[in-house]
Structure 1
Amino acid sequence: MTTLAGIKIRRFREARGISRAAFGTWYGAPGSTVQGWEEDGKRAAAPIVNQIAANGIAHHADWFVTPRNMENAMGSWSPASWQNAEARQMPDYPDQAALDATLTELGRFPPLVFAGEARQLTAELGRVAEGHGFLLQGGDCAESFAEFHPNNIRDTFRVILQMAVVLTFASKLPTVKVGRMAGQFAKPRSAPTEVIDGQELPSYRGDNVNDIAFTTEGRVPDPARLLRAYSQSAATLNLLRAFAQGGYANLHQVHKWTLDFMGRSPWADRYADVADRIGEALDFMEACGINAETVPQLSRTDFYTSHEALLLPYEQALTRQDSLTGQWYDTSAHFLWIGDRTRFEGSAHVEYLRGIGNPIGMKCGPSLEPDALLRLLDTLNPHRVAGRMTLITRYGHDKIEAHLPALVRAVKREGHPVVWSCDPMHGNTVKAATGYKTRPFERILAEVRGFFAVHRAEGTHAGGIHAEMTGQDVTECTGGAIAVSEQALADRYHTHCDPRLNAGQSIELAFLLAEMLNEELAERKKAAA
């Protein structure tokens, strides 16, 4: 793997006539880690150490990394240093002793994910940032205890696989699959309390904090819910790993599901050509002897988990130090993101995320100015590791083309390697005449089109989609080819928070994305000719 870190190290060695083996011994010698670089006028040791670690090669014998190097790179950071910063969107637990006991117990639990998996995801996202992949991130707005069932996990996983096959075929690029699953419980709220029929109670903040039922007892933040959330996340991850590696992700089977689904869909004719070409490609591979038996990778896939790093006491309790690199990782998920309400400069959430080795995301809305974004990037990714940062834009269909170009230009000018991903959900939420909160599919699609248009104009890569979706046949977002009406919202409106795309709308979105990716691919070929 060729990385910026590797190039810098090679140049450093070659300029001094140091062999690769000798460099590893010298760099790991007591007293020579940081001092050796400083004495030679090279104060860049810590940045390179960080870059090596984030690219998943810190264990290489030629590049020995010590915990001391990591401490120098992180400065005063620790898993608890966020407690000295301003923390918003935190629940007010009435029993601090109970919370402390719960967090101590969580701190003894096994990690849910492993550092090597997070590094692998960083490497994959690094390729997306360079224009050689596409990020598909989707799942529940907020997971719930009540709807926890293997069928629901399976159905969402299956739809993500179906979407990924369509996107991969269209773009001719690998699709990185990340679920909003196995930990996406906590939700930020616009107000700490809500009033119903004259009664004021704490807002519902997610099943890992309090109950959705509007009762005095149910709305009290309960630390025991953190333990239940951990257990549900562990069970969900276990099932996802089995699905991803146990044959359920067989490429032929995934395409068959899509064909079966299209047979029941009103938009099938429009995308029949794409589906037919995917089928022909699979048939050709089969004729050449390339199948799940001869190439096991065709029945397996890499699948990662993610959630908003909102409830920092929980995240801190699951933060572990990697024995290979000395770097800290949040082992509650492979990928964590910071929300639009908590990504302000100096926030506790920024402080926590800057020190973990996981790839991280940041929501970018209309209130984020280019200079503020650059300062946040300097804090969260000071060594500019490709794959470390994903910028998730959320503007609304009528605002994206006015606000996004300035951010794209600033990031491009400063050379920050980021994945640009589009969240077309949050900026397009409206209240239907029937009283239900919904998201019109046409507005969702319009924001995605605007996202692609901006990146096409700026010469940058439209690298991903971030969608709140489910594999269930819910009626929460209006429109789409299946034409969910406002009157139909009440039929199957099950969300615990915000409206989600159903299975049909999600797959339709994938085919529409495929058209846009095809256009981008054609323009790339034209430019390269």
Structure 2
Amino acid sequence: MPPHARSRIESDLPGDQAAGKPAPQQPAWPDPGLLDEVQRELLNRPALVPAEESAHLADLMAAVARREAVALQGGDCAELFEDAAPSPVHRKLEQLYDLSATLREQLGMPVVTMGRMAGQYAKPRSSDWEHTPGGEVLAVYRGDAVNAAEADAAARVPDARRLLAAHDCAAATLKVIRESWQGRADGNRVFAAHELLLLPYELPQVRADPEPYASSLHFGWIGDRTREPDGAHVALAASVRNPVGVKVGPSTTAADLVRLARILNPERRPGRLTFIARMGADRIDPLLPPLVEAVSATGIPVAWISDPMHGNTTKTGRGRKTRSVQAILDELTAFVRILRAHGAWPGGLHLEMTPEPVTECVARSADARTAALNQYRSPCDPRLNAEQAADVVDAFVALLRAA
């Protein structure tokens, strides 16, 4: 079996604020020389995203922080290279534009729309290994930017050249995204967002224009597994001007969140920082209120949005991951109620979803043990299908209007 991933990032890339800091969730790249070559190639490639586009998104997110707009983030759990073609991208964009239109028309306010697109090619994992139904132990699939989903030992070996393929696929997807902007007002565009996870991919793409910004995306978030205040991922996010987010899970303390707010938004800029709550329906009530109170007490402007997906993952009787739509709605309901009760704005949704007619999420938790999930296409986590995603958006509208 290959060695575990390096726990710290060592890099001589220009302006690398993450060097020497703890860096969890990094693959065990087997060829350091190849990895260095790939990073140099990424360093010399053109920026995927110009600084002015990220700055524009920050202005739009400032309206969410000021309670003048809502945000919608949505898309695949993990993008596949094979989907970086006009037809699949158009279908995903159409879903996002349709859901945003529902929010805008029903709430009568602007909607800031971001897709989990053009870079969501890597995933953090709870284990380095997985057991196949046949009993074989394989390195876990970490996304197309790292290895292949095929249940084969050779396919699961991390390959640094996949980082270049990820860049190519992101460029192709961004081309289609920008084409979709034509004829639309600035506030009705879909922007590209993904998790700031693979540091050998992200760090070489930091550009100075004139201040450092992450040129791989418009908006990047730090996952719940990589949000250590002294870690490399937070250092990267703190060093760039893009709007950024942090996933806030059940283990987050008030002290953690206050410290992150101060590190990531020291200038107190509205639109700079978003906290994305992903607690789970059965844990959000006791856990989220003290966090909202602590952040509010700092006076640092943040946007709060709900990720009701990741805290509500369970398994079927066959061991396949699924999520209950009812649990998703329960967490969303609690999120809106808690934010309102503490004088804060429940500013939006972060959903894993697809326009395809999949059966990856069940209606109720009680259905999970016996669910067959015959149309399961995600290589990683379960997504809402089009009808389920629309139901969640409709529920969010109803909750805001009732409040």
SS of 1:307's partner is strand
TM-score (normalised: structure 1) = 0.71
The alpha-carbon deviation at position 173 of structure 1 amounts to 1.3
Where does residue 307 of structure 1 map in the other structure?
194
Where does residue 347 of structure 1 map in the other structure?
231
Equivalent residue runs for 1:368-379 within 5 Å: 368-379=252-263
Where does residue 222 of structure 2 map in the other structure?
338
SS of 1:329's partner is strand
Where does residue 10 of structure 2 map in the other structure?
none
1:399-424, Cα deviation, whole Å (9 max, x unpaired): 11111110111111110100001000
Output the CA distance in 2 between the equivalents of 1:179 and 1:489. Answer: 29
Equivalent residue runs for 1:125-140 within 5 Å: 125-140=61-76
Where does residue 380 of structure 2 map in the other structure?
497
Output the CA distance in 2 between the equivalents of 1:198 and 1:187. Answer: 23
Kept in 1: contact 2:197–2:222 (CA 8 A): yes
The alpha-carbon deviation at position 486 of structure 1 amounts to 6.8
Kept in 2: contact 1:436–1:489 (CA 8 A): no
Q: Which runs of 4+ in 1 moved over 6 A?
A: 483-486
SS of 2:304's partner is strand
Q: Choose between structure 1 and 2: higher helix proportion.
A: 1
1:283-337, Cα deviation, whole Å (9 max, x unpaired): xxxxxxxxxxxxxx49x93221100000011101111110xxx210111100011
Where does residue 345 of structure 2 map in the other structure?
461
What amino acid does structure 1 have at the position aligned with 2:388? Q
SS of 1:463's partner is strand
Which sections of structure 1, spanning at least 5 residues, go unmatched?
A: 1-76, 250-296, 521-529
What amino acid does structure 2 have at the position aligned with 1:176? V
Output the CA distance in 2 between the equivalents of 1:158 and 1:101. Answer: 38
1:38-63, Cα deviation, whole Å (9 max, x unpaired): xxxxxxxxxxxxxxxxxxxxxxxxxx
1:3-58, Cα deviation, whole Å (9 max, x unpaired): xxxxxxxxxxxxxxxxxxxxxxxxxxxxxxxxxxxxxxxxxxxxxxxxxxxxxxxx
1:41-87, Cα deviation, whole Å (9 max, x unpaired): xxxxxxxxxxxxxxxxxxxxxxxxxxxxxxxxxxxx96423121011
Output the CA distance in 1 between the equivalents of 2:17 and 2:129. Answer: 28
2:32 to 88, 92, 96: 96
Output the CA distance in 1 between the equivalents of 2:173 and 2:15. Answer: 25
SS of 1:81's partner is coil
1:509 to 381, 389, 392: 392
Larger radius of gyration: 1
Equivalent residue runs for 1:236-385 within 5 Å: 236-245=173-182, 247=183, 297=185, 301-322=188-209, 326-385=210-269
Output the CA distance in 2 between the equivalents of 1:489 and 1:160. Answer: 28
What amino acid does structure 1 have at the position aligned with 2:148? D
Output the CA distance in 1 between the equivalents of 2:292 and 2:270. Answer: 16
What amino acid does structure 1 have at the position aligned with 2:24? R
Equivalent residue runs for 1:163-202 within 5 Å: 163-196=99-132, 197-202=134-139
Output the CA distance in 2 between the equivalents of 1:182 and 1:376. Answer: 26
Judged with a 3 Å threshold, the aligned counterparts in structure 2 of structure 1 residues 484 and 514 are, in CA distance, closer, same or farther, namely farther
> RMSD of the TM alignment (CA)?
1.9
1:195-238, Cα deviation, whole Å (9 max, x unpaired): 33443332211110011112221111101111111111111110
SS of 2:345's partner is coil
* Identity between Structure 1 and Structure 2 (%): 42
SS of 1:392's partner is strand
Kept in 1: contact 2:314–2:368 (CA 8 A): no
Matched, 1:417 2:301: yes
Output the CA distance in 2 between the equivalents of 1:472 and 1:302. Answer: 22
Where does residue 149 of structure 2 map in the other structure?
212
What amino acid does structure 2 have at the position aligned with 1:502? N
Kept in 2: contact 1:336–1:359 (CA 8 A): yes
